[in-house]
Amino acid sequence: MRVFFLAAALVLAAAAPQEPRPIEILLDERVPPEGGAYSFKIETENGIIQSEEGAPGLEGQTNVQGVFSFPLEDGSIAEVRYQADENGFQAKSPLLPVAPEFPHPIPQFVLDQIAFAEEQDRLEAQGQFLSEQLQQ
């Protein structure tokens, strides 16, 4: 009976939650920032990889481009490429949702209004729109 309780105690001790061990960093390369330019690349033992580069932008900001990837539960690798510049942040990945196609064709009267507005813009740029309006 004592052997049974000793064995049960050992099983319970082995099944108790263990302290998580830190994930080992396999690669950590960095170029410190200088004048808005920098870069880094990091790889970890659990399959996470990230690299990023920064360069001075036209408006005083730092433009960034990079990529990160990580393993999914099914064994495939998820990858996200991104950039941030004068046009904002843009990410690309097959995992990101995509807006649905417009559900129906644009009605003709809307297309006519768009064409009319474009023609007004063109005439106004030529200085003719105002003179035509005054003649009517």
Supply the DSSP symbol for 74.
Answer: T
Distances (CA, A) of 15 to 6, 8, 11, 20, 111: 14, 11, 6, 14, 68
Q: 10-69 pLDDT, tens per residue?
A: 666 666 677 788 999 999 999 999 988 999 999 999 999 999 999 998 888 899 999 999
What is the reported pTM?
0.58
In the chain, domain spans: 20-92, 104-131
